[in-house]
Structure 1
Amino acid sequence: MKRQLKLWDAVMIVMGSMIGSGIFIVSSDMMRQLGSGYWLIMVWGLTTLATIAAAICYGELSSMYPRAGGQYAYLTEIFGRMTGFLYGWSLFAVIQTGTIAAVAVAFGKFTAYIFPVLSDAPPIYENGSFMITWMQIVAIGVIIFLTFINTRGLESGKFVQSIFTAAKIIALVALVFGGLYLMKVSFFAENVQFGWSAFQNLTGDGWVPIDGRTLMAGVAAAMVGAIFSSVAWENVTFISGEIRHPERNVVRAMVIGTSLVMLLYLLCNYIYLATLSREEMAFAANDRVAVAAAEKLLGHTGTIIMAFLVMVSTFGCVNGLVLAGARVFQTMAKDGLFLRQAIPNNQHDVPARSLWLQGLWASLLCLSGQYGNLLDMVSFVIVIFYMITVFGVVYQRWKHPKKDRSYRTFLYPIPVIVYLLVGGLFCGLLIIYKQQYTWPGLILVLIGIPIYYLINNKKPNTDNS
């Protein structure tokens, strides 16, 4: 791998991979779950704290293992081949490819908002509940196009990433400051008034008082949306082998990128809470809370501008996910844990076969229509792997205290404790209150165990893990 990416490129990959469709949608459902802007801000605040803490922790591991593969490489080095494979298996099966599919379909849906003919047209194919729509075709077209762009060389992929990430950051900043300038009446104080002493939840009977147990269930469900919007920052570790001075630039990119994105998320949610009433947020059409806010500020013109913004955002997000994910599968193939056809680079020094395998599976998930359900189900698993990786910092300090570390976790062990506590709270609440989000994801991971042994039985294995 040639080290062609600078710190700026790495920051753009972090921010571009994080900012997709979530921030424009999930706050609507979060309001329905929580019934209060106070608790909505609390959940986003917890997610912000945990995300930045995890990025700080990952920095130490990136300085110890600055090779392609990132989190997969860390887990393999620290806990053995099986742990690394189970993460990589989950990544290919749904985490990376499912996210690509979900964000690409979001691009298709917002394209259809601007061009209604796409949504008004009858399905291309329909058989019972299964159908293929033009929005899905648009999504697949985006995946194929960006996969092709990335096979033309790293310069092509990073150019697209830098342009579209810069565009959507500027647009989000414009949304925040434009909202502050254009806002005539603020609903913020009204939306945050339901705090510790007045829990409410949206039911068929409207807003009704709820007890602490129901609130915790709502917090768990709301955190799924906030976490989904805040993951994928670790994608920059997947391409460590192509970043200049990865031992220092990877951690800088993660901390700078995650901090800026989460600040933008908090500011956007302030605009939503100040621009819209509680009912307007909760009942935003198709959960498009950003579009509802834009319509309030600028009328119909605002909805078109916001739909275009989401198209820019999702396009750049898909590119970042496509660019980074293929490097993990190539690294797994080199370790004998993925299809060996994914190993070679093409004449442009990029893993073209790995890119096309990823793109093909993501496209099939687009057609299946099940990616959204799968992503909800594996949010639990994503956080579990984050927690295992963060714990790896502690484990390596104990097991290899003298191993070279060009960067040590800032304020250690505080970031480790913060992430493990918040991640443990999230997973614990889901296990207690939202088990439909936990068992399917765990089953998906467990399916990888027989596959791992099947792969290892086909060749000699010198690793006892």
Structure 2
Amino acid sequence: MENPGYARRLTLMDAALIVVGGIIGGGIFLNPGIAAQRTDSGLVLLALWVGGGLLTLVGCLCYAELGARRPEAGGSYVYLREAFGRLAGFLFGWTMLLVIYSGSSAAVATIFGSYATSVFGLSPTLVKPLAVGALVFVTGLNLFGIRFGAQVQNVFAILKLTAIAVLVVTGLAFAGAGTTQALAPSATHVTGGLAGALLPVLFAFSGFSYLNNLAGEVRDPQRTLPRALVLGMLVVIAAYVLTNYAYLAVLGHDGLAASQAPAADVMSRVFGDTGAKIIAIGIAISTLGFCNITLVAGARVLQVMGEDGLFFASVAKLHPRYRTPNIALMALSLWAIVLVLAANYGQLLDFATFGDWAAYAVTIATLFWYRRHTAGRPAFVTPAYPLLPLVFLLTVVAVVVAYAWDKPLSAGVVCLVVFAGLPVYAVWRRLLGKAAPVQ
């Protein structure tokens, strides 16, 4: 029985909130303190968040053109397969399954477990069971069609934006004298250069590409997808910059640099333990939304790989009624659960972030191939081509190199996973005879 095909049921609002949900996870509640340690004033810190947001917006514009050219499920996998051959597509999907999407989901689910135990005063031994429960929960939500899953995702996204709004209003309304010092130079010793300060900022903006994986389910994708990427990204930039200003207004630059949990510190300083619990609930909801969209987006990649004969045929099947890749979704979720049980949060985050940004670099490179080898003008083209794509590509390469220099073990593990995919691909071709020769 042939697959019924994906149903195009995602509206502009659905798509924009997917962009928001794919980016805002736990980073904005944790990373500003790290960035503050590596800058010498609040003004420089805010400039970094604005700059990081604008750079990521350029990435969104590039992905918007790619999505307009190929408005189908699979995202980066499809672009890499067409531009650089089936081996390149397979290596992306292989790494996505083993490290990038699964690792991101596992890491953020662990954050959910940590905050849930904190809010309800539970034993720390329940962190991993709660993380597993969160993954099972969001997987179950998406077994019954993209429309229902999108509605749940919309609720998650709106709730996390509400949590950020509460944090921002609290910071700006109750900062007091700290507001005048928010942008002042800091006495804190700067622990890294510009590249080091930019790393935690850019990592907080990760996840903007997930919508492209769902392009096969977006209505009027050539028009909707670019609009959703830009709109969602602008919302995130505004939320991130305002949140950082609220941190600075309450804690000051030195206080932010010393904080391990700036959101909790801001709310606790203003409202005491009750405030800390309120923001902890908001962060937990934010992590659930991130896990939800990461698993949903990754499942579409596995499903397309299965159709191409580059993964098990069973994952290519769509549910005949709900038209969702349920087997692929459960497979990705199962591996994420394995990672939760086998690794700690720091390891998961390091593996996923290095792989994620390396994938952005190679995916943006496909845009140059499409411009040279395909005819016709898509509904959306990246402005200021080739300057903007080159700026994004070179910056991301620099970030990946800086990250590998800072964490060589994590980068090495991800590279080993990629290289391990080479013999797996060769065996797959030999045994199944479905993959075309390497291009």
**TM-score for both structures, normalised by structure 2:** 0.92
The question of whether the paired residues in 1 share the 8 Å contact of 2:86 and 2:435 is answered with no
1:419 aligns with 2:396: no
Offset at 1:456? Answer: 1.5
Q: Residue 200 of structure 1 aligns to a residue in which SS?
A: coil
**1:290 matched to 2:263:** yes
Give the letter aligned to residue 4 of structure 1: R
The residue aligned with 2:334 is 360
- Per-residue deviation at 1:32? 3.1
SS of the equivalent of 2:363 reads helix
Would you say how many aligned residue pairs link Structure 1 and Structure 2?
432
Partner residue in 1 for 2:306: 333
* Equivalent residue letter for 2:417: L
SS of equivalent residue, structure 1 residue 58: helix
The alignment partner of 2:219 has SS state of coil
Identity, in percent, stands at 32
In the alignment, the residues of structure 2 paired with residue 82 and residue 266 of structure 1 have an alpha-carbon distance, to the nearest angstrom, of 40
Task: Find the residue that maps to 2:381 and give its secondary structure.
Answer: coil
Whether 1:307 aligns to 2:312 is no
Distance (whole Å) between structure 2 residues aligned to residue 395 and residue 75 of structure 1: 10
- Residue 56 (str. 1) matches residue 48 (str. 2): no
Aligned partner of 2:116 among 111, 117, 126: 111
Instruction: Summarize the Cα distance change of 1:224–1:89 in structure 2 as closer, same or farther, 3 Å threshold.
Output: farther
**CA deviation digits over 1:67-124, x for unaligned, max 9?**
10011111111111111111111111121111111111111111111111233xxxxx
Q: Structure 1's 427 and 154: CA in aligned 2 closer, same or farther, altered over 3 A? A: closer
Contact 1:224 1:376 in 2 (8 A): no
Residues in 1 aligned to 2:234 and 2:26: alpha-carbon distance in whole angstroms:
18
| 8 Å Cα contact 2:139-2:329 kept in structure 1 | yes
Distance in structure 2 (CA, Å) of the matches to 1:292 and 1:395 = 48
The alignment partner of 2:176 has SS state of coil
Unaligned runs of 5+ in 1: 120-132, 203-214
Write the distance in 1 (CA, Å) between the matches of 2:403 and 2:141: 39
Please show how residues 181-330 of structure 1 align to structure 2 within 5 Å: 181-186=173-178, 189=181, 192-194=184-186, 200-201=189-190, 215-216=192-193, 219-284=194-259, 287-330=260-303
2:101–2:352 Cα contact (<8 Å) kept: no
Cα deviations by residue, 1:344-384 (Å, 9 ceiling, x for unpaired): 11232111111110111111111112453143144333222
Query: Which one-letter code corresponds to 1:405 in the other structure?
Result: P
Q: Provide the residue aligned with 1:123 in structure 2.
A: none
- Aligned counterparts of 1:143 and 1:57: Cα–Cα separation in 2: 31
| Distance in 2 (alpha carbons) for counterparts of 1:222 and 1:451 | 38
- Residues 18 and 211 in structure 2, CA contact (< 8 A), matched pair in contact too: yes
Tell me, which stretches of 5 or more residues in structure 2 are unaligned? 1-5
In 1, Cα distance between the equivalents of 2:199 and 2:346?
12
Query: 441-450 or 232-241: which moved more?
Result: 441-450
Contact in 2 for aligned 1:95/1:375 (Cα 8 Å): no
For 1:193-217, what per-residue CA distance to the aligned partner results, in whole angstroms no more than 9, with x for missing partners? 15xxx98236xxxxxxxxxxxx33x
**Equivalent position of 1:13 in the other structure:** 18
| 1:145 alignment counterpart | 137
The one-letter code matched in structure 2 to 1:40 is L
- Equivalent positions of 1:61-72 (< 5 A) are 61-72=66-77
Instruction: Note the C-alpha offset of 1:23.
Output: 0.6
- When normalised by structure 1's length, the TM-score is 0.87
Structure 1 residue runs of 4 or more that deviate by more than 6 Å after TM superposition: none
Tell me how far 1:415 sits from its aligned partner: 2.0
SS of equivalent to 2:123: helix
Distance (whole Å) between structure 2 residues aligned to residue 371 and residue 79 of structure 1: 33
Q: 1:437 to 1:94 in 2, by over 3 A?
A: closer
User: What is the CA–CA distance in structure 2 between the aligned matches of 1:432 and 1:99, rounded to whole Å?
Assistant: 21
Quote the Cα distance in structure 1 between the aligned partners of 2:408 and 2:418: 16
1:55: Cα distance to partner?
A: 0.5
- Is the counterpart of residue 382 in structure 1 residue 340 in structure 2? no
What's the counterpart of residue 3 of structure 2?
none
Secondary structure at 2:245 match in 1: helix
Write the distance in 1 (CA, Å) between the matches of 2:238 and 2:409: 31
**Contact 1:98/1:371, CA 8 A, preserved across alignment:** no
Within 1, Cα distance between the matches of 2:404 and 2:133?
38
